[in-house]
Amino acid sequence: MASLADFTTLRVGGQIDETRVARNEEELIAAVSEADAAGRPLLVIGGGSNLVPDDAPFAGTVVLVEADGQGPTLSDSCDISPNSEGKLPPSCGGVTVEHFAGVRWDDAVRFAVENELLGTECLSGIPGTVGATPVQNVGAYGQDVSTTISRVRTWDRHENRIRTFFASDCGFGYRASVFKRTPYEGQAKSATGRYVVLSVQFQHTQGDMAKAVVYPELAQELGIEVGERAPLQRVREAVLAIRTRKAMVSLEEEHDTWSAGSFFTNPILTAEQSRALPLEAPRFAAGNGANGEELVKTSAAWLIARAGFAPGYGVNERATLSTRHTLALTNRGNANAADIRELARAVRAGVEEKFGIRLDVEPVQIGEPI
């Protein structure tokens, strides 16, 4: 019998009652609506790289969304057939590219970079599928998908119909969207929300130079100043190099990558909370709160390190912080979900005790919240 450990990058989690594979839109809609009609709990999994399971059996249907070699659909008001060199010619309105939800995200980024389509190059190397990217508005190195997504086609599980969201309706925020925020309220509990993403369309401008680099670490890797530009392909290579050094790519042989990426979100603080932090704490403007007061984002990794958790810290030898990135909780080979949860609680309690800030878990949790 398959278990969640087989399909998640943390490689933990209990046995699964029923597993279905969906390789195209029709199969995805059929698998989801059959589970819903039968009142069975449902979990849609792409790459399993943003999931924290629990050890209890999953008494429902897991739908694995995979690509079947299908290429993207290109569209534009101008002619965008590839030219004799196999490249897309310059086009006045930019280019829209639509991928099936099960396509590997990094394949979509590579396609964009190879075709000189701008806007996702800093998101190179993020594990998982295209369909999950709007769910938490995936982001890294100063970019997130909210700035390139033009529309998201979904299966609305409440109304049993296809529903399309244009970018302005997606409610994108920091690691948040309407897809993450809207729960399924059918008869069975569901770890997947009301909207199942079928495909995502991206609107790219064209060019061989990436947009201005805003992230200091990336600028340094490229040997340029923040605000300068670099060739698109070089930006992708620099991002992949940084991510590989930090074990923030997914590799079977490398336990530091057996994680769910950043386990906690960077806390957004009020001005008063921010003032209570040591002077040297990282602070970034984070817009305004409901009452108009300025908000400040700090770094969860910094808080964890300053609360005394060194890289490699563990509550036991099975589950530890990554030896290369304190924000990633990792399975050293034989951890179970309880080990990961115990480590998460220890880190969160340590940060709360030292700074009075409670860290929020970033990945989607299955079962009891940590």
Ligand X SMILES: Cc1cc2nc3c(=O)[nH]c(=O)nc-3n(C[C@H](O)[C@H](O)[C@H](O)COP(=O)(O)OP(=O)(O)OC[C@H]3O[C@@H](n4cnc5c(N)ncnc54)[C@H](O)[C@@H]3O)c2cc1C
CA 308 to each of CA 38, 112, 351: distance values in angstroms, whole numbers, following the listed order: 49, 41, 9
CA 342 to each of CA 172, 266, 312: distance values in angstroms, whole numbers, following the listed order: 31, 20, 15
Using DSSP bridges, classify how beta strands 58-65 and 149-156 pair: parallel, antiparallel or unpaired.
Answer: unpaired
Residues in the chain: 370
Listed ranges 54-62, 120-128, 265-273, 306-314: which one lies at the site for ligand X (CB under 6 A): 120-128
SS3 for 187? coil
Please confirm, yes or no, whether 175 is among the known catalytic residues: yes
Location of structure tokens 């190195």: 141
Tell me which of 113, 222, 260, 329 binds ligand X, using CB under 6 A. 260
190 binding ligand X? (CB under 6 A) = no
Listed ranges 90-98, 108-116, 121-129, 285-293: which one lies at the site for ligand X (CB under 6 A): 121-129
200 binding ligand X? (CB under 6 A) = no
Q: Minimum Å distance from CB 93 to ligand X?
A: 27
* DSSP class per residue in 108-136: HHHHHHHTTB-S-GGGTT--SBGGGTTTT
Q: Provide the Cα torsion 175, 178, 184, 190; round to 10°.
A: -10
65 binding ligand X? (CB under 6 A) = yes
Structure tokens at 143: 């970019």
Catalytic residue among 153, 175, 318, 341: 175
- Mention every residue, 6+ apart, whose C-beta is less than 8 A from residue 176: 136, 137
| Residues near ligand X (CB under 6 A), total | 36
Catalytic residue among 25, 66, 121, 362: 362
Give the other-Cβ count within 10 Å of 294's Cβ: 12
Please confirm, yes or no, whether 66 is among the known catalytic residues: no
12 binding ligand X? (CB under 6 A) = no
Nearer to ligand X, 72 or 261 (CB): 261
32 binding ligand X? (CB under 6 A) = no
Nearer to ligand X, 43 or 80 (CB): 43
201 binding ligand X? (CB under 6 A) = no
Tell me which of 96, 199, 257, 336 binds ligand X, using CB under 6 A. 257
- Mention every residue, 6+ apart, whose C-beta is less than 8 A from residue 40: 17, 18, 60, 61, 188
49 binding ligand X? (CB under 6 A) = yes
Q: Minimum Å distance from CB 262 to ligand X?
A: 6
Nearer to ligand X, 46 or 94 (CB): 46
Residues that are catalytic: 175, 262, 362
Residues that bind ligand X (CB under 6 A): 9, 43-51, 65, 101, 126-129, 131-133, 135-136, 138-140, 191-192, 196-197, 248-250, 257, 259-261, 364
